[in-house]
């Protein structure tokens, strides 16, 4: 009995002490949480949430502003917010959260509540936009700074973006883009997806604000400038333009000379070739023509009876490239002004292959014609000047590529071209012809930063250095 009483006393004494110890441990943990979590929660409540809707923002030199917003709590919708930019020389932010690009570089933008509480950071980068949104007018992959925008063959050619380093794969739209352009904060393309309504669209680089620009024309190629003007070839063979700043903008035909086969554009000129009397040429278009956008006139350089390839432009260096083929079955056609000298007129001495076309001169034709008229009036021998005219005033020059070569694009002083299922490159000086890599004829090739990108026939995307070394597969399969 004594043993039982002693046992019960021990239980009574021991249990409260144990309970108190456990309770103390629970209290200490609660106190610890109370000292951290409530403070954090109080910050959000006092600051109305103060969580920025974006953690990163891409802006572009002389580009548009973008508004940042704060997610506020339901408890406090009237909070006063001050906006701060760490480096106003890069970007300014106004009282409404509109961030405007000022200069190239990086900065941090954040919101600040009346009680001094700050939001999370938004990393803002201001960089240069692409001057023109496309290299060829027929691209399915375009790079701008650190990002690649592309029709993803691994997901039914839908619109995607990915960092050049292979990270942050993002689907932007279910549209299937053709003739892709990217410049500044906008992506432009012709959507070929019947389910999402075909037409010319623009969408922000964040995948927002998808807008129909033109649903009247079928588009065969597209170029968009950084100022937002689109130049395109429609199904009727007209080269037209419109402003992309709003839907339903006026469409303007650039010139009356159709049907155009291919064209390339820079800030001053449109270079093009066309079909002869609505009859498609067997290997491409015909002739070579230049439309001066400022003077609004057409200059003729090669007769339409000479077959010519797609026009490739080296926009930074004001140079276009084209290939001339020979087909003696075609009849020579006289076009253009009264004095029209064609270096391809003599079929027996017909030069073939690739040519450089200088776009740096404003109007050499008018200058040369004036010299001819002056010499005619003075009675002097015109043959030396006529010889210069036949060379088209030094705009045209032979380039060491043959009819069997196909130029893809020109980038950073190199012309990339295909020959016998090999991608090669040659310096714009005509020297250093190099092999890059072999590729499937079904592949699509793009370039961005220090890299080349290409698709295999198995819809796998690879990245290499621009000389073809260090091939690395980039996983673009959606999760």
Q: How confident is the model at residue 408, as a pLDDT?
A: 93
- pLDDT (average), residues 22-44: 31
Answer for the pair 260, 237: CB distance below 8 angstroms, yes or no: yes
pLDDT of residue 31: 35
pLDDT category at 63 given cuts 50, 70, 90 is very high
Residue whose tokens read 């909070």: 79
More confident residue, 289 or 330: 289
Domain boundaries, the chain: 51-127, 130-162+170-244
Residue 367's pLDDT is what? Answer: 59
- Burial bucket for residue 27 (CB in 10 Å: 0-12, 13-18, 19+): exposed
Q: What is the pTM of this model?
A: 0.81
Per-residue pLDDT tens for 168-219? 999 999 999 999 999 999 999 999 999 999 999 999 999 999 999 999 999 9
Mean pLDDT on 240-269: 92
Residue 242: how many CB atoms within 10 A of its CB? 21
Where are the strands (E) in 359-413, listed by range? 396-399, 406-411
Omega before 345 within 30 of 0, i.e. cis: no
More confident residue, 40 or 117: 117
Q: Specify the pLDDT at position 38.
A: 27
pLDDT for the residue numbered 117: 86
Q: Where are the beta strands (DSSP E) in 238-371?
A: 239-243, 252-253, 260-265, 269-274, 285-292, 297-308, 312-314, 319-324, 353-358
Q: What phi and psi values does residue 104 have, to the nearest 5 degrees?
A: -65, 145
Residues 309-350 have pLDDT tens digits of 999 999 999 999 999 886 544 333 333 333 344 555 554 556
pLDDT value for 443: 72
Give the pLDDT confidence score for residue 433 in this predicted structure: 94
Instruction: Please state, rounded to an integer, the average pLDDT across all residues of the chain.
Output: 81
Comparing 221-225, 256-260, 378-382, 393-397, the range with the smallest average pLDDT is 378-382
Query: Residue 229 CA to chain centroid, in angstroms?
Result: 14
Q: Which fold has domain 51-127?
A: Immunoglobulin-like (2.60.40)
CATH class for the region spanning 130-162+170-244:
mainly beta
Q: Taking 70 as the threshold, does the pLDDT of residue 18 lie above it?
A: no
């Amino acid at each position: 009995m004594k043993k039982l009483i002693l046992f019960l006393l021990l239980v009574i004494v021991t249990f409260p002490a144990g309970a108190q110890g456990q309770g103390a441990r629970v209290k200490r943990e609660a106190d610890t949480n109370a000292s951290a979590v409530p403070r954090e929660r109080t910050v959000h409540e006092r600051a109305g949430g103060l969580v920025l809707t974006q953690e990163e923002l891409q802006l572009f030199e002389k580009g548009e502003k973008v508004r940042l917003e704060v997610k506020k709590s339901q408890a406090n919708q009237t909070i006063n917010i001050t906006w701060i930019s760490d480096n106003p020389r890069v970007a300014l932010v106004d009282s409404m959260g509109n961030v405007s690009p000022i200069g190239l570089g990086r900065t941090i933008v954040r919101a600040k509540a009346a009680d001094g509480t700050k939001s999370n950071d938004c990393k803002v980068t201001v960089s240069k936009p692409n001057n023109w949104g496309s290299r060829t007018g027929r691209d399915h992959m375009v790079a701008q700074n650190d990002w690649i925008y592309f029709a993803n063959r691994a997901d039914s050619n839908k619109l995607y973006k990915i960092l050049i380093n292979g990270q942050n794969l993002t689907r932007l739209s279910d549209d299937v883009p053709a003739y892709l352009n990217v410049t500044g904060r906008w992506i432009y393309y012709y959507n070929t997806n019947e389910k999402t309504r075909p037409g010319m669209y623009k969408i922000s680089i964040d995948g927002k604000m998808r807008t129909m620009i033109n649903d009247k024309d079928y588009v065969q190629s597209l170029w968009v400038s950084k100022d937002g003007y689109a130049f395109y070839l429609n199904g009727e063979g007209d080269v037209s333009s419109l402003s992309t700043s709003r839907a339903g903008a006026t469409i303007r035909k650039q010139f009356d000379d159709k049907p155009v086969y291919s064209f390339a554009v820079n800030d001053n000129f449109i270079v093009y070739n066309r079909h002869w009397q609505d009859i498609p040429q067997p290997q491409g278009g015909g002739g070579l023509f230049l439309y001066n956008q400022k003077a609004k006139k057409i200059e003729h350089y090669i007769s339409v009876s000479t077959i010519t390839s797609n026009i490739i432009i080296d926009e930074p260096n004001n140079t276009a490239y084209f290939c001339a083929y020979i087909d003696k079955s075609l009849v020579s056609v006289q076009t253009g002004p009264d004095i029209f000298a064609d270096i391809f007129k003599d079929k027996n001495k017909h030069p073939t292959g690739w040519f450089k076309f200088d776009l740096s001169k404003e109007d050499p034709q008018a200058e040369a014609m004036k010299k001819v008229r002056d010499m005619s009036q003075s009675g002097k021998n015109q043959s030396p000047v006529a010889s210069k005219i036949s060379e088209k005033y030094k705009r045209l020059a032979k380039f060491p590529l043959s009819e069997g070569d196909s130029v893809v694009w020109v980038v950073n002083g190199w012309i990339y071209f295909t020959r016998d299922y090999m991608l090669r490159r040659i310096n714009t000086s005509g020297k250093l012809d190099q092999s890059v890599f072999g590729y499937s004829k079904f592949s699509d090739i793009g370039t961005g930063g220090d890299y080349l990108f290409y698709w295999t026939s198995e819809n796998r995307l690879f990245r290499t250095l621009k000389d073809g070394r260090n091939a690395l597969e980039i996983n673009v399969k959606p999760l």
